[in-house]
Structure 1
């Protein structure tokens, strides 16, 4: 079963295709890392897939009503803005809006508690979200997306700016979400985290999808040099895959 089906999706800025004829499927249990250099089209692909940008081609999410789409997919944008000085619990509860009626149900409250727990924010319920550190605010916004409990989570650079522990824990949470039978697509610049935690990588360059597969088949020396301009160390170890960029190639 596909949670997202994209066929020939193209998004243009003027006459220039920022996303160029991308086709892909996202299935149950997958954690996809969307990788590529700055300007490759990763953010535009996520937004185009959701129908938030004009496009040609087809996305299974784009034709849904806003409420249907919010129940099918949670979206964590790159921008981390908390507009009002509400407490963390209220902020995370906003993730239940696609499901909630006039009053919160026990299921809504349980979903919020699970999301707070997953992001290590159980003790932060009554803290004012805008008074938190930048990393803590980022974790609260991830919790809001998790509380939505949609089958698919699309996240744009979710671990950027987090400390190492929070980065690893967040990636582990996404792994768990996928293992529960849902799916995650996250744009990630840290190739070491992507190689270690994702079941599949989508490599973009100049708006096109140039590689799609397991990390070991995508992070090849040729792809790294051609797309990123780097060489790297990549090995399977008893602790799992280890990837480290070593130098530039151009």
Structure 2
């Protein structure tokens, strides 16, 4: 669904993303983690062809409409500019499929609203909702797009704990149904519990890629995040706890 080969993005002469090679296949929910400024957002924007880059991205090679049918993009900024109803805003996710106002489009919108618990919000004006509610509406719009791959930049930031877990469960269901998700996260506990793989970025480079139980080692957490932490795989799922900071 996504193949990156030596993907590099520069700010001036400085590589913000430095020669990243990786791939995403069906059934994967990948957590993209790393410190602030590690290059996570730039990596996703370059992979989508939204900014200038060197190297190759299989998505960036597609024309814009084909790219939108292949991948849905949830940027970090959540500004909703128009006073549309929730149903109208979610229906914008159908634009890559042309003038889709028939049964298939209506079913896709209804399913997306249901998956995000927004059935009773259909006629509410999106700009009048809380920040967390708006975030759920924008995720629903991405789901209505029915693209196999979703790229989401900090999609759970600002959500309450229940909404965070529910959002990760929605992404996991999308992957389990044959799609794939790449989402940047700062909550390493949710990444450990819900993601099938973790990509770790540090200073523009992809420094680790693998299952959470393998990647989230004490050594890596100390080296990349400068924290002392506890990670354990239990019968109830992965448990992660940051215990203290370390000197940089």
The alignment's TM-score, normalised by the length of structure 2, stands at 0.99
Q: Equivalent residue for 1:123?
A: 120
Alignment size in residue pairs? 247
Q: Helix, strand or coil for the counterpart of 1:97?
A: helix
- Distance (whole Å) between structure 1 residues aligned to residue 158 and residue 184 of structure 2: 14
- Distance (whole Å) between structure 2 residues aligned to residue 105 and residue 8 of structure 1: 42
Q: Equivalent residue for 1:104?
A: 101
Query: Which one of 144, 148, 152 corresponds to residue 151 of structure 1?
Result: 148
Q: Equivalent residue for 2:130?
A: 133
The alignment's TM-score, normalised by the length of structure 1, stands at 0.98
1:233 deviates by 1.3
1:249 deviates by 1.4
Query: Which one of 170, 194, 197 corresponds to residue 194 of structure 2?
Result: 197
Query: Which one of 139, 143, 167 corresponds to residue 142 of structure 1?
Result: 139
- Distance (whole Å) between structure 2 residues aligned to residue 63 and residue 30 of structure 1: 22
Q: Deviations over 1:44-91 (max 9, x none)?
A: 000000001101100001111110100000000000010001100000
1:231 deviates by 1.0
Q: Equivalent residue for 1:247?
A: 244
Q: Equivalent residue for 2:20?
A: 22
- Distance (whole Å) between structure 1 residues aligned to residue 214 and residue 228 of structure 2: 15
Q: Helix, strand or coil for the counterpart of 1:91?
A: helix
1:100 deviates by 2.9
Matches within 5 A, 1:26-65: 26-65=24-63
Contact 1:100 1:108 in 2 (8 A): no
- Distance (whole Å) between structure 2 residues aligned to residue 151 and residue 143 of structure 1: 14
Unpaired stretches in structure 2, ≥5 consecutive residues: none
Q: Deviations over 1:186-243 (max 9, x none)?
A: 0000000000000000000000000000001110001000000001111112210010
- Distance (whole Å) between structure 2 residues aligned to residue 234 and residue 5 of structure 1: 30
Query: Which one of 224, 227, 246 corresponds to residue 224 of structure 2?
Result: 227
Unpaired stretches in structure 1, ≥5 consecutive residues: none
Q: Equivalent residue for 1:9?
A: 7
Q: Equivalent residue for 1:72?
A: 70
1:105 deviates by 1.2
